[in-house]
Structure 1
Amino acid sequence: MSATGDPARSAAPLDAAQLAEAFALFSRASEELSTAYNALQAQVGQLTERLSVLMGALPAGVLVVDRAGGVVQANRAAESLLGGGLAGQPWATLAARMEASGTPGEFLITARGEVRRLALSESELESGAERILLVHDVTDTHRMRLTAERNERLAAMGEMVAGLAHQLRTPLAAALLYTGNLRQPELDPAQRAMVADRALERLRYLERLIRDMLLFARGDSAGRQRFAVCELLAELAHTLEPVARARKVAFTADCACAAAELVGDRKALGGALTNLLENGIQACEAGGTLRCEAVLVGTADAGIGTSAVRFSVRDSGRGIAPELQERLFEPFFTTRAEGTGLGLAIARGVARAHGGDITLRSTPGQGAEFSLTVPLAAGAPSGGQEHP
């Protein structure tokens, strides 16, 4: 028989060796994959445990909301603020319990018989499958902020005591003088009536000054209600139009806010706008014009983080010098002999108490425009809608 033999028989042992080696490689790879998987599972377990501890330790409420708007996870702080058993509930149901506070991003909710103020923020995961909602209890912070603002006002009033004493002394001395003249028997009825009218005029000025002082000291708004912007503007126009007509000033009012609503102290906001309108009437000469309008502005225009209503009061008066414009909002600063100097300070305080502010634009000889901006009334956060 030939030494070379059958080629197929000589190749068989080589194939078996290769197969054994392949099985050995596969076995080692499988063991390495199994070891790596076990290590990964251990890391996932550690991360899950750490996340659970972190969620439980966070003072802020954390809720995870899925694409359908359902709460899939909530930490202890969230359940403390919004109630237990949050997982599985629609977020829209929870959001419906919140009321607008008048401050952008903050809402009111009644928990355990107490009204709490909550700040809400939202972040969406990159996958878009879930969103994370953070709920902060800012009740104490809000109270501290109000206390700090009140202390600032009281400190400002303390610094103004000397000036206030002077402002009270002058009209009071005039009222005393006129009242003393009423005792003179030689005055005829017409002179006596004139003296009495002047005394009453000085006393009314004192009353107005004291009223404005109290408004400035109290500062923020007392009550809150929901009301239509256009209704408020129509009411102001009805009140101020006769005053403007008496001074021969053409007054117009226009509301472009449709059905927009505000939440706040309607009386305080109306008073602040009335002050701006009365100042505009006083600034106009006979034959001048005064225009008041309300328009909706977006986030960038409002500058206060939400949609807002901007009330603009524009007059055709003499305008205001640049060096006086910033001082106009200082308490007791006035350019009018009969002004108390508190009207604009009160108006700015009311605007800021509602989350807004007042700005002024004026060029000497070209009139002035005051703009009072207030955030729109927001309902409960709309986090429950479905995402596409």
Structure 2
Amino acid sequence: MNAPLTPPLDAAGLAEAFQVFARASEELTQAYGGLQQQVGVLTERLDLLLEALPAGVVVLDNHGRVEQINKAASVMLGSTLVGSDWQPFAARMLVASDTPGEWELAAAEAECRVSISETALDRSGGRIVLLHDVTEAWRMRRAAARNERLAAMGEMVAGLAHQLRTPLASALLYTGHLANTQLAATQRADVAGRAVERLRHLERLIQDMLIFARGEALGREAFGICELIAELRHTIEPVAARGGVVFDTDCAAGTEQVFGNRKEIAAALTNLLENALQVLGEGGRVLLAADLDGEEVRFRVRDNGRGIEPAMQDRLFEPFFTTRADGTGLGLAIARGVARAHGGDIALWSEPGVGSEFTFSLPLIVQNEVARTEELAA
């Protein structure tokens, strides 16, 4: 009969082994309890930290549902959202603003703008969305821009008085002639026409001043770049043809859109085109083109006219500076104001004897911001 491989444990040995096991189990239980307590403390601290953060924090699970949201985010968004799908809420709540990277909250009681950033939480697909309230910074930028315009208007007071006095004096002179009973009917009609012309010039000057003073692009909408080019071609082509000027257009912007006041942008570009037509004679050429440059669209108005002297180029955008007797001197200043109100700008290239080109640049806000909205909401 074979001997057992291990000697049997006696009762004392079994008792000792059980005690060792019991002590180990108790130590493990205590250690686990300590870890749970530490996790609880850390979780509590993390919750306190999230609640104390001035930035909004939204934690999403791998299904895009809101798992956690801090107080700042709840205040900004007007809802706790826990358990809700982020996608439909973001699509409904976030509206692209005129500043790249900034959003307007559609349901906010007062004006509220936020910047948004996002990062992956872990490999499971969870994400953290951070919202920063930039409303005050935006208001300060807007106030600074308005103060700059008002300061410019203060410098223009003397020029404005002269600009208003001249057409008004002419209109008064012409209307005074109408009281002359000796005037023939044809002469009376001619004098009346001249008076109306001066009054219309005065009206245009006042309208331009109001646009310049406002400076903000109100009534914004999304519209196609090439659609605007086609609209301007339809408007300008007959005018160019009457003057014997060849007018061409070229749009390389595809289906890209911009977000802004379509009427004001069209008016600014029309002003640039009319300026070009007025300096050209029969056989001249004007090109209106649009192309993309990174995050911007560039509207270019080019002519083959006599060009602009370098000394005069620096003054062209000054309010009331004009080289034409019938000009208000505000067209280019307004065009620059419209561009800047939309986050863009206007630049001039000109060479005497060769021609000039004005570049009216605007950011591609809508395309980038819509894509970003879809990314955040997905």
CA contact (8 A) 1:314 1:370 kept: yes
Are 1:359 and 2:355 matched, yes or no?
Answer: no
Q: Which residue number corresponds to residue 296 of structure 1?
A: 292
Would the aligned equivalents of 2:90 and 2:377 in 1 still touch at CA under 8 Å?
Answer: no
- Give the secondary structure class of the aligned counterpart of 2:374: coil
- What's the counterpart of residue 54 of structure 2? 59
CA shift, 1:289, in A, is: 0.6
Which residue identity does 1:334 align to in structure 2? T
Shift of 1:261: 2.4
Q: How far off is 1:160 after superposition?
A: 1.1
- Which has the higher relative contact order, 1 or 2, with Cα contacts under 8 A spaced 6 or more apart? 1
Q: In 2, distance between residues paired with 1:76 and 1:104?
A: 26
Q: Per the alignment, do residues 44 and 314 of structure 1 end up closer, same or farther by CA in structure 2, a change over 3 Å counting?
A: farther
Aligned partners of 2:104 and 2:113 also within 8 Å = yes
Q: 1:328 aligns with which of 316, 321, 332?
A: 316
Partners of 1:123 and 1:332 in 2: CA distance = 51
Structure 2 unaligned segments of length 5 or more: list them.
1-26
Across the aligned residues of Structure 1 and Structure 2, the Cα RMSD in angstroms comes to: 3.0
Please state how far the C-alpha of 1:209 moved relative to its aligned partner.
0.8
Alpha-carbon distance between aligned partners in 2 of 1:124 and 1:358, rounded to the nearest angstrom? 40
Q: Match for 1:296: what amino acid?
A: L
Query: Which shifted more, 95-104 or 130-139?
Result: 130-139
What is the DSSP-based 3-state SS (H/G/I as helix, E as strand, rest coil) of the residue aligned with 1:329? coil
Hey, what's the Cα distance between the residues in 1 that align with 2:359 and 2:83?
46
Query: What letter corresponds to residue 349 of structure 1 in structure 2?
Result: G
Give the aligned partner of residue 23 of structure 1: none
**Aligned: 1:74 with 2:62:** no
More moved, 356-365 vs 239-248: 356-365
Residue pair 1:82, 1:94 contacting (<8 A) in 2 also: no
Q: Secondary structure at the match of 1:332?
A: coil
Q: Name the residue aligned to 1:138.
A: 134
Moved more, 84-93 or 365-374: 84-93
138, 143, 147: which one aligns with 2:143: 147
How do 1:77-96 and structure 2 match up within 5 A?
A: 77-96=72-91
* Residue identity opposite 1:375 in structure 2: P
Residue equivalent to 1:107:
103
State the distance in 2 between where 1:325 and 1:120 align: 41
* Equivalence map 1:26-45=2 (5 Å): none
Match of 1:242?
A: 238
Q: Distance in 1 between matches of 2:63 and 2:140?
A: 38
Q: 1:219 aligns with which of 215, 218, 222?
A: 215
Residue 225 of structure 2 corresponds to which residue in structure 1? Answer: 229
Structure 2: distance between partners of 1:329 and 1:124: 48
CA 112–199 in structure 1, closer or farther in 2 if over 3 Å, else same: closer
Query: SS in structure 2 opposite 1:165?
Result: helix
Q: Which residue is equivalent to 1:171?
A: 167
Per the TM alignment, residue 352 of structure 1 is displaced from its structure 2 partner at its CA by 1.7
Distance in 1 separating the partners of 2:37 and 2:329? 71
CA distance in 1, matches of 2:34, 2:41: 11
Residue of structure 2 in register with 1:16 after alignment: none
Q: Distance in 2 between matches of 1:255 and 1:204?
A: 35
Q: 1:73-118 CA deviation, whole Å, 9 max, x = no partner?
A: 4321112222444445444333212222232112222335555322
Q: TM-score by structure 1 length?
A: 0.78
Match of 2:373 in 1: 381
TM-aligned CA deviation for residue 124 of structure 1: 5.2
Q: Counterparts of 2:58 and 2:353 in 1: how far apart (Å)?
A: 57
Alignment match of 1:157 (pick from 131, 135, 153):
153
* 1:70/1:384 contact within 8 Å kept: no
Separation of aligned partners in 2, 1:274 and 1:366: 22
Which amino acid in structure 2 is aligned with residue 77 of structure 1?
A: A
Relative to structure 1, the CA distance from residue 91 to residue 373 in structure 2 (aligned partners, 3 Å threshold; closer, same or farther) is farther
Taking the aligned partners of 2:40 and 2:315, their CA distance within structure 1 comes to 63
Deviations 1:45-94 (A, max 9, x none): 77655543332122221234456645444321112222444445444333
Report which stretch shifted further, 65-74 or 267-276: 65-74
Residue 3 of structure 1 corresponds to: none
Q: 3-state DSSP class of the match of 1:222?
A: coil
Counterpart-to-counterpart distance in 2, 1:293 and 1:231: 12
Instruction: Provide the rounded CA distance (Å) in 1 between the counterparts of 2:333 and 2:281.
Output: 24
What is the match of residue 263 of structure 2? 267
Identity within the alignment, %: 58
Cα offsets for 1:194-247 (capped at 9, x unmatched)? 322222222221111111011111111221222222222222111111111122
Q: Evaluate the alpha carbon distance shift between residue 176 and residue 90 of structure 1 in structure 2; reply closer, same or farther with a 3 A threshold.
A: same
